[in-house]
Amino acid sequence: MEKDVKKNLESLLFVAEKPVSVKELANVTSFMVSEVQTALNELEKEYENRGIRLIRKGEYFSIVTAPECGEIICKYLNEELRHDLSQAALETLAVITYKQPLTRVEIEEIRGVNSDQTLRSLLVRGLICEIGRKETIGRPILYGTTMEFIQYFGLLKEDELPRFDELKLFREEDEAS
């Protein structure tokens, strides 16, 4: 029975065009949520040294190629990897990553510059998405990172990012030396 859970989840995640939630996987397969979570954890470990990875963002999962195989995949597909991100895009992405969810105005207050074009670029690349609306006047759009963000930076889950306070300490130590 255990093997059937993993086999079914693996098949579903392989054909899914978008990340799939644990609840959705449980509903489709008729397995209990706890069985699905256990099987996903096992698959994640099994894929650690393989050409594919199981990545997660919150309760959503997706199967992707291993980041270290990007060069050979690029060669096979005869296409270049995405262009490097600009400094403005990296700054905006860092703000969103550590403060999400937040609005364009909140991003601009932190960065001190207009971020319309940068946000559009990050949206087109699929690194951020609209995750809702803020319950204030005008109901501005809230932005957050995506599964593509996790894959782009070669992570398996958001937990692998350094904590914001660790980055601050690193920066202070760097400025002191």
pLDDT in tens, 33-81: 999 999 999 999 999 999 999 999 989 999 998 988 888 887 776 554 4
Query: Is residue 98 pLDDT above 60, yes or no?
Result: yes
Q: How far is CA 5 from CA 32, 62, 107, 148, 149, in A?
A: 10, 16, 42, 26, 28
Token pair, residue 36, equals: 């699905």
- 30 domain-assigned: yes
Looking at 36, 69, 102, which one is the last position of a domain? 69
* pLDDT computed for residue 80 by the predictor: 44
User: Diameter of the chain by CA atoms?
Assistant: 58
CATH number at residue 19: 1.10.10.10
- 43 domain-assigned: yes
- 35 domain-assigned: yes
Query: Is residue 118 pLDDT above 70, yes or no?
Result: yes
- Percent of the chain exceeding pLDDT 70 equals 86
- 54 domain-assigned: yes
Instruction: Determine the length of the chain.
Output: 177
Please name every residue paired with 52 in a beta bridge, in sequence order, or none if there are none: 65
Residue 3's pLDDT band, with cuts at 50, 70 and 90, is low
End-to-end CA distance of the chain: 58
Average pLDDT, integer, range 138-166: 85
- Of 35, 48, 34, nearest in space to 4 by CA: 35
* pLDDT computed for residue 151 by the predictor: 85
Domain span including residue 120: 87-176
- 77 domain-assigned: no
What value does the CA radius of gyration of the chain take, rounded to a whole number of Å? 19
Residue 176's pLDDT band, with cuts at 50, 70 and 90, is low
Total domain count, the chain: 2
Q: Are residues 45 and 123 located together in one domain of the fold?
A: no
Q: Which residue has the higher pLDDT, 169 or 151?
A: 151
Q: Are residues 110 and 40 located together in one domain of the fold?
A: no
Q: Are residues 59 and 100 located together in one domain of the fold?
A: no
Q: How far is CA 20 from CA 24, 33, 70, 75, 131, in A?
A: 7, 13, 23, 29, 16
Q: Report the chain's mean pLDDT, rounded to a whole number.
A: 86
